[in-house]
Structure 1
Amino acid sequence: MGHIHEESGFCPFDHTSDINIPVASLPEAEKSDRGCFEVYKGEIAMNSIRTIGFIGLGAMGLPMAKRLSQAGFAVRSAVHRNQDAGKKFQEAGGQLFNSIPEAVRGVELVISIVSDDLALEEVYGDEEFYRAIPKDVIILEMTSCAPKTLLKIVKRYQKKTKNFIDAPVSGGVTGAINGTLTIFAAGNKDILGKVEPVVTVLGKTIPLEKIGDGKAVKAVNQMLAAVNMIGVAEAYILARKMGLNLDQVYQIIKESSGGSYVFTNKFIKIVKRDYNGGFKFRLMKKDLGIAVREARGLRLPLLKLADTLYRRFEGNDDLDYSVLATLYEEQLGGM
């Protein structure tokens, strides 16, 4: 992060900039009475994290990396597939390298948030990457993947570093852009303390006890979101059949007992048939699959039904998962 740049007057935690930091998240000695947001004053502590190797400039990763760069961290990354993402990252002040090993060499913190288990294993299974990361570097692993996948990686890296934090997120692309993600962070409390100035830029952290718990909680969360989406889609179909004013339905239910985060954020997308942006269907299907595998041996009929419906949907996998509602619309005919 560094210090305030005297020539520009820029402070990475200035409450007048694009990156606002809640007062509650700051050390007591560094709070003041200037409202809901505050700034770090003077030089940042010498032991603070400054350099970050960021892996995964996807729909979630890119806005997260941009926020960190704009907050004053030296963020380094490499383009894997999307060249346009690399350009946007550089425009936000990020440093772009030709490869991931180059990007993580010498950093104090590695953050990874990639698409799935396979992509994660590809990164951490690369010998060049293993050699490039510094000894005892902190690794903040934010991918939605199976708990056992992360645990295998942690075991593989024991001789290199034990400083892993299991920290998947919830809040979608909007949360990544606005810095309002919920971060399920499992790991050593001292290490969590060291990354607090970093994760505060991204959202609110809820601490968990042991590595693997973050991924497990994310699986439960995604199961609930996926099942809830089915209910929202069916509510939309029923409201249409009964000839209701859909805007009124939305305004009433979002304030009533039937409301939910999924209803509030997805019902209008269905009404407008606006399935662009948001959380991709293929990623929700992947996350639901993790929950299904973790639930083996249990009788969970709603989870099984959700998995069946999501797998029945074909095409448009890169649209928001609320596109599931289109499975039902053929029942409406000309209504």
Structure 2
Amino acid sequence: MRYGFIGLGNLGGHLAASLRKSGFEVVVHDRDPATADRLLALGATWADSAGALAADCDAVLTCLPSPTVSEAVLGQILETAKPGTTWIEMSTLGRDEILRLADMAAAKGVSTMELPVTGGVHLAAQGRITMLAGGDKALVDRHMPALEAMGEQIFYMGPLGSAAVIKVITNMLAFIHLVADGEALMLAKRGGLDLAQSWKAIKASSGNSFVHETEGQLILNGSYDVGFNMDLALKDLGFAMTFGRDFAVPLELAGRTHEIFLKGKQAYGGGAQSTQIVKLLEDAVGTDLRADGFPARLE
């Protein structure tokens, strides 16, 4: 099968590279042609537009920053995609968005599968990211070899829209954990404890989290370089708050976290790293959370 990949940013570039390294024929496109250089070096083919890519592929994967961009790119894909093409949407969308866009695709004979991923850019680079699949089970099974090339754990969540819900839930938890980890580390620092030793103790405790193990290291380094920005975090938290209203679930922790991220964007800008949300606390109390021996980026 010939796969097209649109969106070669922090995440998409690694995922497309994993496909190509596993021997799949891959055609790539991004609004910034420079992002494709390493893919072309691996033997991928460049397409000058999303439409040109779709005309040449059996399946098109998109990894894009917002529902608005996803809809615009899908429109270009549908102009040229052959009936029977699969659109695999890896962007984080709301349930209503993916269902609406899937209806648009179906009207042109294109099947839709949702495949948001979770775990961080560093795991995508290793081909070990977690993939959350939604849609027709037979369609998911048809593309399973490609999924296994990009990710380590693949969860089939159910009908189309199911993966959108669980992806938002996982991101909501990650942002709550991020704020909590900053508060925990600050308590340790202001309590006079060694931060490196405190990080290790938390990691080995019942208070540990994936966020503490990964993003906690970037905070202690001071780089905050997680490859995910405030605007994207606010988009996902906005989806979570919508689900809370739709499903009649009061989300007190998520709501407070959403408010904190709004403050973070106001202070540092929407393009700031999402981990810089902890800098709000550092700035508020005039204390940096720094320790030796932690990486600037996760490998």
Q: TM-score, normalised by structure 1?
A: 0.81
Q: Deviations over 1:44-79 (max 9, x none)?
A: xxxxx2x11111111110111111112111111222
Give the aligned partner of residue 167 of structure 1.
Answer: 115
For the Cα contact (< 8 Å) 1:138–1:161, is it kept in 2? Answer: no
Give the aligned partner of residue 69 of structure 1.
Answer: 20
Give the aligned partner of residue 246 of structure 1.
Answer: 195
State the 1:222 CA deviation: 1.0
RMSD of aligned alpha carbons: 1.6
Question: CA separation in 2, counterparts of 1:106 and 1:83?
Answer: 18
Give the aligned partner of residue 57 of structure 1.
Answer: 8
Give the aligned partner of residue 48 of structure 2.
Answer: 98
Deviating more after overlay: 108-117 vs 275-284: 275-284
Q: TM-score, normalised by structure 2?
A: 0.90
Matches within 5 A, 1:73-88: 73-80=24-31, 82-88=32-38
State the 1:158 CA deviation: 1.7
In structure 2, the CA distance between the partners of 1:334 and 1:63, relative to structure 1 (3 Å rule), is closer
Query: What letter is aligned with 1:118?
Result: T
Give the aligned partner of residue 121 of structure 1.
Answer: 71
State the 1:113 CA deviation: 1.1
1:327 and 2:280 aligned: yes
For the Cα contact (< 8 Å) 1:275–1:319, is it kept in 2? Answer: no
Question: CA separation in 2, counterparts of 1:184 and 1:155?
Answer: 20
Q: SS of the counterpart of 1:295?
A: helix
Question: CA separation in 2, counterparts of 1:259 and 1:233?
Answer: 13
Give the aligned partner of residue 265 of structure 1.
Answer: 214
For the Cα contact (< 8 Å) 1:141–1:166, is it kept in 2? Answer: yes
Query: What letter is aligned with 1:251?
Result: K
Question: Relative to total residues, which structure has the larger helix share, 1 or 2?
Answer: 2
Q: Deviations over 1:277-313 (max 9, x none)?
A: 4333321221111111222254221111011000111
Query: What letter is aligned with 1:299?
Result: P
Please list every run of 5 or more consecutive structure 1 residues that lacks an aligned counterpart in the other structure.
1-48
Query: What letter is aligned with 2:279?
Result: T
Q: Segments of 4+ in structure 1 off by > 4 A?
A: none
In structure 2, the CA distance between the partners of 1:111 and 1:198, relative to structure 1 (3 Å rule), is same
Q: Deviations over 1:166-205 (max 9, x none)?
A: 1111011111111111111112222111111100011121
For the Cα contact (< 8 Å) 2:231–2:271, is it kept in 1? Answer: yes
Question: CA separation in 2, counterparts of 1:332 and 1:157?
Answer: 51
Give the aligned partner of residue 257 of structure 2.
Answer: 306
Q: SS of the counterpart of 1:182?
A: strand
Q: How many residues align?
A: 283
Matches within 5 A, 1:112-261: 112-126=62-76, 129-161=77-109, 163-203=111-151, 204-261=153-210
Query: What letter is aligned with 2:58?
Result: E
Question: CA separation in 1, counterparts of 2:137 and 2:253?
Answer: 36
Q: SS of the counterpart of 1:191?
A: helix
Question: CA separation in 1, counterparts of 2:287 and 2:70?
Answer: 46
For the Cα contact (< 8 Å) 2:81–2:110, is it kept in 1? Answer: no
